[in-house]
């Protein structure tokens, strides 16, 4: 799925798994896409290294 911007006072990115819908967000800190994606990869996510998916979480990879 496409990473979408979400408003939590600050603009943050939310990465969503295409299979199960699990989300990985940038938390309170505004992160650049590539920073969020790097953290996702460390946690086992797979997919394109672009904000436009597909992306899969560790459980679905
Ligand atoms: Zn998943």
* Number of domain units in the chain: 1
11: helix, coil or strand?
strand
Q: Is residue 9 included in any domain, yes or no?
A: yes
Q: Is residue 32 included in any domain, yes or no?
A: yes
Q: Is residue 45 included in any domain, yes or no?
A: yes
The residue segments making up the domain with residue 28 are 3-56
Q: Is residue 61 included in any domain, yes or no?
A: no
46: helix, coil or strand?
strand
Q: Residue 1: is its pLDDT beyond 70?
A: no
pLDDT at position 57: 96
**Distance from the alpha carbon of residue 19 to the mean position of ligand 1, in angstroms:** 5
**Distance from the alpha carbon of residue 8 to the mean position of ligand 1, in angstroms:** 23
Global pTM value: 0.72
Burial class of residue 23 in the structure, from the number of CB atoms within 10 Å of its CB (0-12 exposed, 13-18 middle, 19+ buried):
middle
**Distance from the alpha carbon of residue 1 to the mean position of ligand 1, in angstroms:** 11
Q: Is residue 24 included in any domain, yes or no?
A: yes
Note the pLDDT tens digit of each residue in 6-60.
Answer: 655 555 678 999 999 999 876 666 678 888 899 899 999 999 998 888 999 999 9
């Amino acid at each position: 799925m496409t990473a979408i911007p979400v408003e939590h006072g600050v603009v943050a990115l939310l990465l969503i798994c295409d299979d199960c819908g699990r989300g990985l967000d940038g938390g309170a800190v505004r992160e650049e896409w590539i920073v969020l994606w790097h953290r996702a990869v460390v946690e086992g996510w797979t997919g394109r290294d672009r904000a436009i998916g597909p992306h899969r979480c560790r459980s679905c990879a």
